[in-house]
Amino acid sequence: MRTILAEPISAEAFAPFGELLVPPAAPGRDYFDASLSNARPGARPSVSLAVAEPVAVPLDAVVMERHQFSSQSFVPVDADGYLAIVAPHAADGGPDVERGRAFLVPGGQGITFRADVWHHPMACLNRPSTFAIVMWLDGSSADTELVSLATPFRVALAD
């Protein structure tokens, strides 16, 4: 099984997959509208809260998901660090796990996955964590595509 090491997240490294939601350094408000997208006129905005249980690391990634028509943002409400595990598209349209990457995200850092980006379900570290999730839904099976990986891979943390 191929093992990839989680790298610290940076805006440049994560750019092919999405955008970082960085809180303002001083009192005020920053907007992240440019990274939000919805390609279905009938889909409605959705804001949800989710609590994710921590995962054991190393983590064997056996599934990936995508939201073909909607971006998906994760905004930590009460979170420790977490992993953003992503993969570009393979020739067949599924996730290219050979080019998969994993990013170590600090607990106060939010992220937006671009529409149609393959990513692993939320993988929190250390303790249960709460996130606000923003995306667009129309209630159809096109909201989320989940695939089992024919070739799973392992995600580990650097020593």
Whole-model pTM: value is: 0.95
Tell me what pLDDT residue 158 has.
85
Residues in the chain: 159
**CA nearest 104: which of 36, 47, 31, 20?**
20
Averaged confidence pLDDT in the chain: 96
Longest CA–CA span in the chain (Å) reads 48
pLDDT of residue 126: 94
| Residue 143 neighbours by CB under 8 Å, 6+ apart | 43, 67, 70, 137
How does pLDDT run across 43-65, given as a tens digit for each residue?
999 999 999 999 999 999 999 99
Rounded Cα–Cα distance for residues 94 and 92 (Å): 6
Q: Are 113 and 19 in contact (CB under 8 A)?
A: no
Secondary structure of residue 13 in the 3-state scheme: helix
Domains of the chain: 2-24+39-129 (2.60.120.480)
pLDDT in tens, 61-105: 999 999 999 999 999 999 999 999 999 999 999 999 999 999 999
